[in-house]
A and B are shown apart, each in its own frame.
Chain A
């Protein structure tokens, strides 16, 4: 009886600070970020020339460099997305994804600021669209949300149901 009451109640962490809860939040962040990266990559990976044109449409990189970035980016997205969904090297994958997303945000904001009317090309297609169909704010807000997921995972890469926990036990 006395043993139980000796343990002060305040030492028990609150529900939101329990490791189990934090692991679950990490899982949500990992699946959200990884899921979006994986789908975005898969939608573009079979059509590298369409992806290259989407990158060219930003008119930020030299033409040939934009072409190669367009060819390679979908593959990188698939790799990062798969690692995140599996929960393997979560911190490194989240860090690289975060850097990519910040670059995307800069690209979209710059296209917006320069008065281009393009689709971000995030999930395929891309290129010039009717000015009334541009969705720059929406695209940026989505990417900001994903950057927050990436930041969480860099700070606290431990997540529930991750492959790295089983594999490197």
Chain B
């Protein structure tokens, strides 16, 4: 009898997991779970704080042609009410935007000059985060400072004219000043432009346009809408663009 009991006990002991030598699974699991949650919460908070500090940088004044935070800048404020609104979302570092500018920039510029369209430009700056620089933000600030000197569209197009071959090379401060000069900003105007640019007077507007565009589902550039209707860029020709603008004119 006694020997059968000890036998059974020995068997039970042999079958039971040995706790000695191995780590306590519950303790390790708790530590790993707590660390993982802490890492995620900390990561989200840090990213959120960085974003908020980006949004609060620089000045909060609106450039000439922009009626409120988040809305695009009207390139030709004298446009009559019956012409279609052409909204353009573009990042100054985006190569596809340069291609569009090269192909249709003159035509759209002419339409705006002749008040055949109301041209609204939303200058985006999201590529900075993809490319790891700040050239979209700085060039957008520079373009809006040019808007105060009545040279927004010239400046905007002038930046595309100097866009580097290699995406991500970006623009230097000196290059952005040269674009201002090439856009006909000089004398006191150039001093004011430089002051505006150095202080990033319109930076909060730049950020607000980026945020609003993302909320509106614009997450690639260039995006063009005629009276709110997305323009198909594939197969677009100067003639088909003219036709679509005419069709939208009341």
Contact = CB atoms under 8 A, between A and B. Distances in A.
What bracket does the count of chain A residues touching chain B fall in? 20 to 34
Contacts of A118: 219
A76 B38 CA distance: 11
Contacts of A139: none
A149 to B, nearest CB: 20
B44 A53 contact: no
Interface stretch (A99-107, A125-133, A154-162): A125-133
Interface in A45-64: 45, 47-50, 52-53, 56-57, 59, 63
Interface string A111-144: 0000000100000010111100000000000000
B190 to A, nearest CB: 33
A54 to B, nearest CB: 8
Most chain A beta carbons < 10 A, residue from B21, B214, B215: B214
Contacts of A68: 44, 48
A169 B17 CA distance: 8
A97 to B, nearest CB: 13
Contacts of A128: 219-220, 223
Interface residues of B, number: 28
A167 interface: yes
B51 interface: yes
Interface stretch (B28-36, B62-70, B144-152, B155-163): B28-36
A115 to B, nearest CB: 12
Contacts of B214: 53, 56, 63
B219 A49 contact: no
Contacts, number: 71
A57 B50 CA distance: 21
Contacts of B39: 75, 79
Given A56-B219, A57-B219, A63-B215, A168 B25 contact: yes
> Secondary structure at chain B's binding surface: helix, strand, loop or mixed?
helix
Interface in B13-32: 18, 21-23, 25, 28-29, 32
B28 A167 contact: yes
Contacts of A53: 126, 129, 214, 219
Contact of A168 (B23, B32, B219, B234): B23
B22 A50 contact: no
Interface of A: 45, 47-50, 52-53, 56-57, 59, 63, 67-68, 71-72, 74-76, 79, 83, 88-89, 92, 118, 125, 127-130, 167-169
Given A56-B214, A56-B219, 10 more contacts: A49-B51, A53-B214, A67-B48, A71-B44, A71-B48, A72-B44, A75-B40, A89-B29, A128-B219, A168-B25
Interface of B: 18, 21-23, 25, 28-29, 32, 36, 39-40, 43-44, 47-48, 50-51, 126, 129-130, 132, 214-215, 217, 219-220, 223, 234
Q: Which 7 A-B pairs have the closest CB atoms?
A: A128-B220, A48-B47, A127-B219, A71-B47, A49-B129, A71-B44, A75-B43
